[in-house]
Amino acid sequence: MRDFSRETMMHAIFGDEFDKGPAPIRAAINDAEEVTDQTDPSVPLDPDSNVEIVSDESVVSSSEDSRKYVSFGRFRMNRVGLHYRHNDEDYNQVSGPIEVLAQTRSDNGENWGLLLRWHDDDGQFHKWAMPKLLLAGDGTDLRRALLDQGLFLAPGWDAKAKFFEYLGRVKVDARAQAVTRIGWHGERFVLPNQTFGDTPADRLLLQTEKKRDHAFNELGTLSEWQNTIATPAAEHSRLVFAISAALAAPLLNIVGGESGGFHLRGPSSIGKSTLLQVAGSVWGGGGVKGYLRQWRATDNGLEAIAETHCDVLLCLDELSQVDARAAASAAYMLANGAGKARAGRDGAGRRGAEWRTLFLSSGEIGLAEKVSEDGIHRKLTAGQQVRVVDIEADAGDGRGILEDGLDISSPADLIRGLQEATKQFYGTAGPTFLDAIIDQLDEVRSAVNGFEREFVENAGLSGADGQVFRVCERFALVAAAGELAIQLRVLPWKKDAAISAVKRCFEDWVSARGTTGPEEVAAAIRKIRKFIQEHGDSRFTPWDEPNARFGATYSRAGFRRPDGNGGTDFYVLSEIWKQEVCKGVDTKIVNRALAERGFLKTDTTGKVQYPAKLPGFSSTVRCYVLTARLFDDGGEVDA
């Protein structure tokens, strides 16, 4: 590698004159400026005067057509760096060479900045859209960011002040639009390192106050990724689902889909983290954790992570790391696409973070179980369960995330091979997918909508609740992304491979849920069954027990009576029904659903409070009568 240290560069430019002191160097600087800048130092330092853009390719070649140095007034920028002339003789170096490629601003005329480019001592180029607000105050954050990326900044207060003055006054004709988050902006897509759908005349780029940590890195080729990751995954439903989900995230905006997530649950050592690693390799990797992020983060930290994954996949590993009380709000926040509103330093409202994402999560237990660990047995709402869908990571064949019946000599070797491949090949499939769809968004929208309709129509959901349809639509989007990527040759799979795999995962979700009806009703039925299973003998007095009213039943909940067909009906006292059996649920909805299913007996007028002459009571008592049909299906919730 060439040595691009500052001293070496100075020797290369000035030769032996570098060792002879300041005077020859001043002369050399003047010589370097003779052709490119004829400004008179006696002219007043008008920020709009004497601006000259100089092209120079003599030091280090770059990917751009030319190097653009801007000099004006007493400031001189060339291949040596930025200098400031205090008088006719003295030059003081302010910084290393830095190019100003464009002035940036948002579409509403705010967030002004500069698009800067420079190279470090190894000759590696750096580019940064610098917000001008960093020039406010003492500028420490600005200097820290530039120094961290290898730009030489001269020490001393005067050099510091002149550097900030240069950045504050420099102007160029080129303009670029600045945005503060990645993802879709109109019909263009921004990633930290590139923009899709951009044109030289109308550039769009990411501009943030600090260089954000991200994993949108690229290593290897698409072909290598396909051969080592996508192809071995092709016959395994969970792996195909994970890769397809990674490509589905950018489609949310195109088809107007809502944010949401899939939580892959199951015992340790079955390959949950491998699923996330494989999915993450679609977009990036590198470092110890690759593309994966952790559930364990503050609210602010999780908001920042979500915002840096807008319109792309977000992978969150190890649900066990997050506190139970924070799990529900964090999951809902991610799926809702908005962070908390906060006040600025002046007390005025500041817009909260916003994003649109599809995320994959993993953990040994489901989100609902995690939330219930808070000590008060908190429950997820039906809306939360629709937004974050639990999927068993185990394919059910005794091989963890892998399918049975395939010719696999060693499942463990396949898992290890995938894990190693995600460290060597990543970050090519996602950008290739974007590049393929960016110029045909209308056609993509039409194709995805067609895939989704076909998937939902073939899901067998006649009479299903709206919640199930919403979840099905998210699965359908994942299937559509996979099939579209197959057509675009981003994925080396056979046609319908994604549809088949995603359908298998959806059917497993429906089976685990137990019903295609409303989750609130299903949860209430499970709760009632559990109550009877726990207290059926101890708290329900047998109907024919002598002196039943004053019997020894402790904390009586009601009575149990044979129904004459080998089953048992349970007569639940009204207050026990409302305060214990149906605590925390909407009794009107549950009563109606139970009656419709024949689980709850009604009187001749259709009322669910049934009049009964209970043992030991002198008058008729209205109670709730659970019929033996509640358990006729062996515990499954009837749809």
Q: Is the pLDDT of residue 227 over 70?
A: yes
Do residues 563 and 615 both lie within one domain?
Answer: yes
Do residues 413 and 553 both lie within one domain?
Answer: no
Domain termination residue (choose one: 438, 453, 481): 438
Q: Is the pLDDT of residue 17 over 80?
A: no
Q: How many CB atoms lie within 10 A of CB 428?
A: 22
Higher-pLDDT residue of 194 and 370 is 194
Domain membership flag for residue 341: yes
Q: What is the pLDDT of residues 516-567, one digit of tens each?
A: 878 778 888 888 999 999 999 999 999 887 665 556 688 999 999 999 999 9
Write the secondary structure of 187-230 as one string of H (helix), E (strand) and C (coil).
CEEEECCEEECCECCEEEEECCCCCCCCCCCCECCHHHHHHHHH
DSSP 296: -
Domain membership flag for residue 446: no
Domain termination residue (choose one: 379, 409, 438): 438
Domain termination residue (choose one: 180, 206, 232): 206
DSSP notation for 520-564: HHHHHHHHHHHHHHHHTTTSEEETT-TTGGGSS-TT--EEEEE-S
Domain membership flag for residue 559: yes
Higher-pLDDT residue of 63 and 534 is 534
Higher-pLDDT residue of 236 and 323 is 236
Do residues 186 and 258 both lie within one domain?
Answer: no
Of 66-75, 123-132, 398-407, 473-482, least confident by mean pLDDT is: 398-407
Domain membership flag for residue 10: yes
DSSP 96: S
Q: What is the pLDDT of residues 261-295, one digit of tens each?
A: 999 998 888 889 999 999 999 999 998 889 999 88
Integer Cα distance of 549 and 293 in angstroms: 60
Place 18 in a pLDDT band, splitting at 50, 70 and 90.
very low
Angle between helices 441-457 and 497-513 (to 10 degrees): 50
Do residues 169 and 284 both lie within one domain?
Answer: no
Question: What range defines the domain where residue 49 resides?
Answer: 6-206
**Domain count of the fold of the chain:** 3
Residue 11's pLDDT is 43
Integer Cα distance of 359 and 364 in angstroms: 17
Query: Is-above-0.85 flag for pTM?
Result: no
Residue 403's pLDDT is 83
